[in-house]
Structure 1
Amino acid sequence: MSSDGARRRDVTVADVAKAAQVSKAQAARALGNYGAVSEDVRERVLAAAEELNYRPNELARSMNTGKSNTIGVVVGDIENPHFGLATRGITDTAKKSGFNVILINTDEDTAAEVDAVRVLLDKRVDGLIVAPASSVETQHLRRVHEAGRPLVLLDRSAEDLAVETVAVDMTVISYESTNYLLDAGHRRVAFISTLRSDTVFSAGMRLGSSQISDRLEGMRRAFADSGHNFPEDLVRLNAGDAGSIRKLTREVLLGADPATAVVASDGLIALSVVEAIQEMGLRIPEDVSFLMYDDFAWTRLTTPPLTVVSQPVYEMGAAAAAALIRQIEGRPPLVPAPEFNAALVHRGSVGAVPGTSGSGPAHSASPSSSVLPSFRSSAVP
């Protein structure tokens, strides 16, 4: 085997010391920026390190100092733009404070999350930001907290775990958006979510996600306050791939007492729901109204543009990183804690119930609103 094909040996502190003609201890102090060392020695060591392309052994450094300047982030689905934007907020904030980020995707699987947390702790991250796959099965997070490791929850809370949590109150915005649909005359409102469940949804059942539980509770309250029965038979969980989402959409729209409005719990689901509505030859909002959680660029590129629940996702990620860094540095949390609110963005995808004149939300009367819903651009993330 040629020397070109062989793996190059890592440059060590001893190599740098030899090239700079100083002791190994002097080189280590200069490279680690600690202890007493003359300016002449420091310059010679740094010049030698640059010439040799020296890279510090971060694991060894973290073992010596107890700090790795690294944050571990665990999310359910990095394909979901919601988590992509939140992660951008985390990394931008972490970078400003000198921290690197290690990101692990769990596919919303609790066992994978347990393993991800273990791997990150083994890598000696200074703290963890976790969007828990389950708000109920959180023993692994409890152990992290009880061990005194810095921990912040993102987007979802965990039952009986008193740690800093950065999330929107989904019950409030769900109540508001459901009232918007009720005001338009809708009584058969479907809700489609990826949340995994072994049983068919029924009112009062314990759900594994605080986010989905709060959204459904907001819907239930809005129906109750308006004097109408909540259509729990139109709640669909276990929406997996695009095919299953389209199947669930057809179920709620083609049943004996079909939905007149559909709510998608996130942007990935929304894409497949809109696709299913197109395949069925239905029009938004003339035949079926549509509302979704999260506001992304593509939601404004459809005909008509979609009504959404907009969340300050980037800001939430940034706040989670800032909260974690305060914990790592031993500083107290902000009091009061930052609050984040979602907003209902009215566009053109909610209209009156089909077959009624309706006095509810107005939608565009332009010619484009009378055709099948479609994208005005193919550049969809």
Structure 2
Amino acid sequence: MEDPAHPKRPVTVADVAKAAKVSKATAARVLGGYGVVSVQIKDQVMAAAAALEYRPNELARSMSTGRSGIIGVVVGDIENAFFSLAVRGISDAARLAGFNIIIANSGEQLDAERSAVDLLIGKRVDGLIVTPARCDRLDHLQHVRRAGVPLVLFDRAIPELDVDAVTGDDREAALTATRHLIGQGHRRLAYVSAMDAERGGLTDIALISNSAVRERVEGFVSALTEADLPNPLHSVRLGATDQHQTDAVMKRLLSEISPPTALLASDSLVGLRIFKSLQSLGLSIPQDVSMISFLDADWTSVTVPPITIVDQRVYELGKLAGERLVARIERTPLSVEHLRVTTSLVVRGSVATIGR
């Protein structure tokens, strides 16, 4: 039994070579997967490695081969089902190509994102997939490019950076969802987002630093404008960052002289918070308030009624981002692209028809 106070030292290539009765250089060639050796020698070395429970030194291997076999992924909020499902798609694409992934969570904080990127670059990852917390702060991402590390942006695009981005068709998705609400007779609508609220509310869409949020707000506002509904920016409500803040946002909204009859939630976490807020206020969906949420999260199909959602095809988004990064790592000749995955509206029971 191993003494915890004196743990067994790691097995080295030299140990494997000695057990296999070959030179250290020959064992290194077999274990590193390079060079030419006979089948018999290869079998001897692999059998010795298995018997000794040899584990390769990934850092040493990356220094000798120039590859770590690892992809770094920095997401905004792993608690959000959107990112969890996206990471699964990225991971599946990476694994098929022979890569593992390291995941870091920024919490949508720029400083945490910068630290995660620096850490992953230090780990010699072969490439990075990043969901930028802000699309107007590029210094750390420009550093990734200068370091020669392939980079793909996920869910948000920064055209000035000149790297691949994989996103949904956010503007079109919000436009379609809002038109559906208007088509069901709703004239008083609100878009509710977890984006931090600026003092005095939203006055200029162009100032939104998150490209996905900005495009969804653009789609929402465009639908209200084309329907000649008044003051569309007033209908965009920010600050639903947790349940307490969402409760406050909902109370302010519903206490207005002309409260909204329908809500569009910016993502599934916000949608669930809105659902809970309405429940706590004793309001029913869709009898009192109709709603649509982005993302086909599990909770949206088990509520009563089930929630109409924007299906973002998140697994496909993640898989496409992973495949794109692998292509960049393998130096496949490709032009820089902003790849958009189309969404669809799944109509369930959370939107009432009014005024007819």
User: Above 0.5 in TM-score?
Assistant: yes
Contact 2:88 2:315 in 1 (8 A): yes
> 5 Å matches for 1:32-111?
32-111=32-111
Match of residue 344 from structure 1: 345
Deviations 1:296-347 (A, max 9, x none): 2321111111111111100010000000000000102389875411111111
Q: Which amino acid aligns with 1:122?
A: G
The secondary structure found in structure 2 opposite 1:263 is strand
Match of residue 134 from structure 1: 134
Match of residue 202 from structure 1: 203
Shift of 1:282: 1.0
Match of residue 238 from structure 2: 237
Match of residue 226 from structure 2: 225
> 5 Å matches for 1:1-381?
3-199=3-199, 200-333=201-334, 339-353=340-354, 358-359=355-356
The secondary structure found in structure 1 opposite 2:352 is coil
Contact 2:167 2:338 in 1 (8 A): no
Deviations 1:87-125 (A, max 9, x none): 000101111110000000010001100111000000000
Q: Quickly say closer, same or farther: Cα 1:48–1:323, change in 2 above 3 A.
A: same
Contact 2:185 2:353 in 1 (8 A): yes
Q: Quickly say closer, same or farther: Cα 1:111–1:159, change in 2 above 3 A.
A: farther
Shift of 1:233: 2.5
Q: Which amino acid aligns with 1:11?
A: V
Aligned residues: 354
Q: Which amino acid aligns with 1:76?
A: G
The secondary structure found in structure 2 opposite 1:246 is helix
Following the alignment from structure 1 to structure 2, what is the Cα–Cα distance between the partners of residues 100 and 334? 25
Q: Normalising by structure 2, what TM-score?
A: 0.95
Shift of 1:37: 2.4
Contact 2:70 2:99 in 1 (8 A): yes
The secondary structure found in structure 1 opposite 2:102 is strand
Which blocks of at least 5 consecutive residues in structure 2 are unaligned? none
Q: Normalising by structure 1, what TM-score?
A: 0.89
Q: Quickly say closer, same or farther: Cα 1:261–1:152, change in 2 above 3 A.
A: same
Following the alignment from structure 1 to structure 2, what is the Cα–Cα distance between the partners of residues 147 and 26? 33
Shift of 1:172: 1.2
Following the alignment from structure 2 to structure 1, what is the Cα–Cα distance between the partners of residues 341 and 234? 31
Contact 1:239 1:248 in 2 (8 A): yes
Q: Which amino acid aligns with 1:295?
A: D
Deviations 1:137-177 (A, max 9, x none): 12211221244321111111125122111111211121121
Contact 2:164 2:339 in 1 (8 A): no
Q: Which amino acid aligns with 1:314?
A: Y
Following the alignment from structure 2 to structure 1, what is the Cα–Cα distance between the partners of residues 64 and 182? 61
Contact 2:225 2:232 in 1 (8 A): no
Following the alignment from structure 1 to structure 2, what is the Cα–Cα distance between the partners of residues 334 and 206? 29
Following the alignment from structure 1 to structure 2, what is the Cα–Cα distance between the partners of residues 336 and 109? 26
Q: Quickly say closer, same or farther: Cα 1:8–1:104, change in 2 above 3 A.
A: same
Q: Quickly say closer, same or farther: Cα 1:161–1:90, change in 2 above 3 A.
A: same
Shift of 1:201: 1.1
Deviations 1:228-257 (A, max 9, x none): 224322322222222211221222112233
Contact 1:309 1:342 in 2 (8 A): yes
User: Percent identity among equivalent residues?
Assistant: 45
Which blocks of at least 5 consecutive residues in structure 1 are unaligned? 360-381
Contact 2:16 2:49 in 1 (8 A): yes
Q: Quickly say closer, same or farther: Cα 1:304–1:15, change in 2 above 3 A.
A: same
Following the alignment from structure 1 to structure 2, what is the Cα–Cα distance between the partners of residues 77 and 6? 40
The secondary structure found in structure 1 opposite 2:137 is coil
Following the alignment from structure 1 to structure 2, what is the Cα–Cα distance between the partners of residues 147 and 176? 41
Q: Which amino acid aligns with 2:195?
A: L
The secondary structure found in structure 1 opposite 2:46 is helix
The secondary structure found in structure 2 opposite 1:87 is helix
Name whichever of 29-38 and 277-286 sits farther off.
Answer: 29-38
Q: Quickly say closer, same or farther: Cα 1:185–1:299, change in 2 above 3 A.
A: same
Q: Which amino acid aligns with 2:133?
A: A
Contact 1:135 1:159 in 2 (8 A): no
The secondary structure found in structure 1 opposite 2:145 is helix
